């Protein structure tokens, strides 16, 4: 039986929306809170919302949010006596839990022994097989030589997943469909795992193609009680990263729900689990479930479970950490909840990460729960994850939740940089999602086939006319040339059939052919942002002077996104061949390689290894062969 534990001040060893989320519940329960921040987050919302805050290092996570010493020192200096790790960063690092215990701090999470058992994916699968929990076939061995991995892969067959045994969040994971692609996948996964987790150990897992990714929320107290809080369906993914999560799953029945819950509780019991955790399964086309991994922390998608159970999971993390009993009565479930992840990425250019200043963000008008840690006027940097916010709707049924989410995306757009909001809106309205048929393979297969959902949105004629009316003003008549994306149009302004009625504080009202319409819009410098169907259309006036543009010069390799020059494989004078990877920019957990457009010689290298770069920065110049 666990003893009662007393603590009064909680340091949140994280940032962004999860830090704000923990602060909100901690304050409601009467705890004081301490935020930590890097140089990039000095004025972030989580810093302003906490009772006190401590700087822990530079913008790079390795020197701040991933520094155990800096976080323990911040707790000491601020007088905190407990630590909540959030998710990501150090939340699943057993050494961090041990360091907190050694410093006399209550770690609001599972025991470090359970984290070690489940933190190593290969060890976790061995443990689950011993506990009778079904697992997907794979290779979990200690022999990490390329020859052994290639041989095991050949025996397993394609397609398969290469996975880092440490960490999570999609880092160190590669999908391989052809044996010839395996060596590059092994090298890439190992390199990424070493960078993110300091451990390049890999495992292989047979891919269950077209499966459903379904996870079960478990909770355990220090008195031996373990319960599950139902499932979440996380099948709507791109590149193994979740986009939409919902509860309950539209794809499983009551019997399978009971079986998965039983397996999840068995998994937690097998490692002596305490606190909130998630057991992830892949369900194949025949309805068979296979254990994937256990996340020994709070999940990003925990709000959907909160909606359908009425429980505050952060509250129960705090209560369990204090030694309290879980409720004696099993939870009841009501309605349907769906969560959308708003990412700073452009789905129409291969989901490239995006950075920039937030020109407009007013989530309060959406009328539903939006968890976020960003603010209008703040900067989205390349140093951390691309997720900006979560839209969560709880409806009487699934259709009710979908309808409310579509409305919320329209009502609360983020303007100033590209996001995936319009893509999420289109996913919600896609027949395969509406009918509950989405599997983990859907979005990636659509991307490969250039499905219509990946067509770049373009403004309709009325939006062009409204933009011309705003930018043209009310003076004498003239022809105004506008640009939006790659399209240019000329409009005669002012037009007799379009009137701007008002434009202030993010709201634009215009009358078009006698019909009044309201838009979310803002003007920053020379750009007019107008949101239509959750997409940020950016209009600018075309300069009458010719503009030089060498961004498409194949001999000049530029960073496609803002980030860090993580790898540089050439020097001045080196010979290169067409397609040879020359450098890699890392941003928001993604690698973007810069290949040579043709054979030639390196003429100049404009950035040093590990240097920060902005989108469009010139990295390498080549002298291409004739």
Q: What is the pLDDT of residues 158-169, one digit of tens each?
A: 989 998 988 666
Tell me what pLDDT residue 374 has: 97
Enclosing H/E stretch for 601: strand 600-605
Number of other CB atoms surrounding residue 578 within 10 Å: 12
Highest mean pLDDT among 92-101, 131-140, 174-183: 92-101
User: In angstroms, what is the C-alpha Rg of the chain?
Assistant: 26
Instruction: Give CA–CA dist 81/95, Å, rounded.
Output: 18
| pLDDT for res 123 | 85
**Buried (b) or exposed (e) across 427-436, using 16+ Cβ within 10 A?**
bbebeebeee
Highest mean pLDDT among 363-367, 378-382, 401-405, 590-594: 401-405
As a whole-number percent, the residues of the chain with pLDDT over 90 amount to: 78
Compare 251 and 615 and report the one with higher pLDDT.
251
DSSP label at residue 377: T
Q: What confidence category does residue 474 fall into, taking pLDDT thresholds of 50, 70 and 90?
A: confident
Residue 364 has a pLDDT of 83
For 137-206, which CATH class?
alpha beta
Report how far residue 165's alpha carbon sits from residue 142's, in angstroms, rounded to the nearest whole number. 11
Residues 6+ apart with CB under 8 A from 278: 215, 216, 217, 218, 294, 295, 299
Instruction: Select 556-624's CATH number: 1.10.1040.10, 2.40.50.100, 3.40.50.2000, 3.30.530.20.
Output: 2.40.50.100
Q: Quick one: pLDDT at residue 543?
A: 77
pTM of the model: 0.89
User: Are the folds of 137-206 and 556-624 the same?
Assistant: no
Q: What is the DSSP string of 284-319?
A: -TTS-EEEEEEE-S--TTHHHHHHHH---HHHHHHH
The class level of CATH for 9-108 reads alpha beta
Question: In the prediction, which pLDDT does 169 show?
Answer: 63
In 295-439, alpha helices (H): 302-309, 313-321, 398-411, 421-429, 431-434
Average pLDDT score, the chain: 93
When mean pLDDT is compared across 1-10, 282-291, 572-581, the lowest value belongs to 1-10
The lowest-confidence range among 171-180, 330-339, 345-354, 464-473 is 171-180
The yes/no answer on whether domain 212-454 falls in CATH 3.40.50.720 is no
Q: Which residues contact 540 (CB under 8 A, 6 or more apart)?
A: 482, 483, 484, 526, 527, 528
Q: Which long-range contacts (CB under 8 A, 24 or more apart) does 173-176 make?
A: 173/240, 175/207, 175/240
Contact residues for 224 (Cβ-Cβ < 8 A; gap 6+)? 1
Kind plus residue range of the DSSP H or E element containing 119:
helix 112-119
CA 101: distance to chain centroid?
A: 30
Q: How many CA atoms lie within 13 A of 478 on its CB side?
A: 9
The answer regarding whether domain 461-541 maps to CATH 3.30.700.40 reads: yes
In the predicted structure, residue 195 carries a pLDDT above the cut 80? no
Task: Quick: pLDDT tens for 413-458.
Answer: 999 999 999 999 999 999 999 999 999 999 999 999 999 999 999 9
Report the run of H or E that residue 247 belongs to, with start and end.
Answer: strand 241-247
pLDDT of residue 551: 61
* Per-domain residue ranges of the chain: 9-108, 137-206, 212-454, 461-541, 556-624
Mean pLDDT for 511-538 is 96
Is a pLDDT exceeding 60 seen at residue 549? no
Residue 259, Cβ neighbours under 10 Å: how many? 14
pLDDT for position 380: 94
Report residue 33 as tokens: 């809170």
Q: What is the pLDDT of residue 1?
A: 47
Mean pLDDT of 356-375: 93
Average the pLDDT over each of 16-20, 272-276, 615-619 and give the range with the smallest value: 615-619
What residues does 539 pair with on adjacent strands?
A: 484, 528
- Asked whether 337 and 247 are in contact (CB, 8 A), the reply is yes
* Band of residue 367 on the pLDDT scale cut at 50, 70, 90: confident
Residue among 387, 287, 399, 381 nearest 336 (CA): 399
Q: Is the confidence at residue 339, as pLDDT, over 60?
A: yes
Q: Is 142 left (phi over 0), alpha (psi -120 to 50) or beta?
A: alpha
Residue with tokens 């450098």: 583
259 — phi, psi (to 5°)? -65, -45
Of 44-48, 348-352, 379-383, 472-476, highest mean pLDDT = 44-48
Integer angstrom CA distances of residue 371 from 231, 368, 462:
21, 10, 33
What is the C-alpha separation between 494 and 602, in angstroms, rounded? 52
Residue 11: partners with Cβ closer than 8 Å, 6 or more residues away: 33, 34, 36, 71, 74, 75, 78, 80, 82, 83, 84, 105
pLDDT at position 167 is 65
Alpha-carbon distance values, 540 to 240, 487, 490 (Å): 36, 11, 12
pLDDT digits (tens, 9 = 90+) for 221-268: 999 999 999 999 999 999 889 999 999 999 999 999 999 999 999 999
> What pLDDT sits at residue 207?
84
Q: How far is residue 517's CA from residue 603's CA, in Å, rounded to a whole number?
A: 55
d(CA 291, CA 298): 18
User: What's residue 5's pLDDT?
Assistant: 84
Q: Residues 409, 421: contact at Cβ < 8 Å?
A: yes
Q: Percent of the chain, pLDDT > 70?
A: 98
* Residues 546, 443: Cα–Cα separation, whole Å: 40
Question: In this structure, what token pair is assigned to residue 227?
Answer: 């319960």
| Preceding omega of 494 cis (within 30 degrees of 0) | yes
Would you state the pLDDT for residue 245?
Answer: 98
Residue-wise over 341-351: b if at least 16 C-beta within 10 A, else e?
bbbbbbbbeeb
- Please give the Cα distance from 67 to 65 (Å, whole number): 6
> What CA dihedral angle connects 308, 310, 314 and 317, to 10 degrees?
-100
Lowest mean pLDDT among 45-54, 127-136, 334-343: 127-136
pLDDT above 90 (res 149): yes
In Å, how far from its chain's centre is CA 96? 23
Sign of CA dihedral 99, 103, 108, 110: positive
Closest CA to 446 of 347, 352, 319: 347
């Amino acid at each position: 039986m666990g003893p009662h534990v007393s603590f009064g001040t909680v340091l949140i060893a994280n940032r962004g929306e999860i830090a704000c989320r923990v602060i909100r519940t901690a304050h409601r329960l009467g705890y004081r809170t301490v935020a930590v921040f890097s140089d990039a987050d000095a004025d972030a919302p989580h810093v302003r919302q906490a009772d006190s805050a401590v700087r822990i290092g530079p913008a790079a996570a390795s020197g701040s949010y991933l520094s155990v010493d800096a976080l323990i020192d911040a707790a000491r200096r601020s007088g905190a006596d407990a630590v909540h790790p959030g998710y990501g960063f150090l939340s699943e690092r057993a050494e961090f839990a041990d360091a907190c215990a050694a410093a006399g701090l209550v770690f609001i999470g599972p025991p470090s022994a359970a984290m070690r058992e489940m933190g190593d994916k290969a060890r976790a699968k061995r443990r689950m097989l011993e506990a009778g929990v079904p697992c997907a076939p794979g290779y979990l061995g200690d022999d990490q030589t390329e020859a052994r991995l290639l041989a095991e892969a050949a025996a397993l067959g394609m397609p398969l997943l290469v996975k880092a045994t440490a960490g999570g969040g999609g880092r160190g994971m590669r999908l391989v469909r052809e044996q010839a692609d395996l060596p590059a996948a092994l090298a890439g996964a190992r390199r990424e795992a070493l960078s993110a987790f300091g451990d390049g150990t890999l495992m292989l897992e047979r891919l269950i193609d077209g499966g459903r990714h379904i996870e079960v929320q478990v909770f355990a107290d220090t008195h031996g009680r373990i319960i599950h809080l139902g499932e979440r369906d996380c099948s709507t993914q791109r590149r193994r990263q979740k986009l939409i999560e919902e509860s309950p799953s539209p794809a499983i029945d009551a019997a399978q729900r009971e079986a998965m819950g039983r397996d999840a509780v068995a998994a937690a019991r097998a490692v002596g689990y305490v606190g909130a955790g998630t057991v992830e399964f892949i369900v194949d086309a025949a309805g068979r479930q296979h254990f994937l991994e256990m996340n020994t922390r709070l999940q990003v998608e925990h709000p959907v479970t909160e909606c359908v159970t009425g429980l505050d999971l952060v509250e129960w993390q705090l209560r369990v950490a204090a030694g309290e009993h879980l409720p004696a009565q099993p939870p009841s479930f009501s309605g349907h909840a769906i969560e959308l992840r708003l990412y700073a990425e452009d789905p129409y250019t291969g989901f490239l990460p995006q950075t920039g200043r937030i020109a407009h963000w007013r989530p309060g008008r959406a009328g539903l729960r939006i968890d976020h840690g960003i603010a209008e006027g703040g900067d989205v940097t390349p140093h951390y994850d691309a997720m900006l916010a979560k839209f969560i709707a709880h409806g009487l049924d699934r259709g009710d939740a979908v309808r409310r989410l579509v409305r919320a995306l329209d009502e609360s757009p983020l303007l100033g940089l590209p996001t995936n909001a319009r893509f999420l809106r289109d996913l919600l309205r896609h027949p395969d999602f509406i009918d509950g048929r989405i599997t983990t393979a859907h979005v990636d297969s659509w991307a490969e086939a250039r499905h219509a959902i990946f067509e770049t949105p373009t403004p309709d004629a009325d939006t062009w006319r409204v933009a011309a009316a705003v930018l043209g003003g009310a003076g004498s008549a003239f022809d105004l040339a506008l640009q939006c994306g790659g399209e240019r149009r000329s409009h005669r302004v002012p037009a007799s059939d379009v009137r701007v009625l008002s434009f202030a504080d993010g709201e634009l009202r215009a009358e078009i052919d006698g019909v009044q319409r309201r838009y979310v819009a803002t003007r920053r410098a020379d750009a007019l942002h107008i949101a239509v169907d959750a997409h940020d259309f950016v209009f600018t006036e075309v300069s009458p002077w010719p503009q030089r543009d060498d961004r498409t010069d194949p001999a000049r390799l530029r960073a496609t996104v803002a980030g860090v020059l993580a790898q540089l494989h050439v020097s001045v004078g080196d010979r290169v061949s067409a397609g040879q990877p020359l450098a890699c920019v890392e941003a928001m957990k993604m690698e973007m390689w810069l290949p040579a457009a043709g054979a030639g010689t390196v003429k100049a290298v404009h950035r040093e290894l590990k240097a920060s770069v902005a989108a469009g920065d010139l990295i390498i110049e080549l002298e291409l062969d004739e």
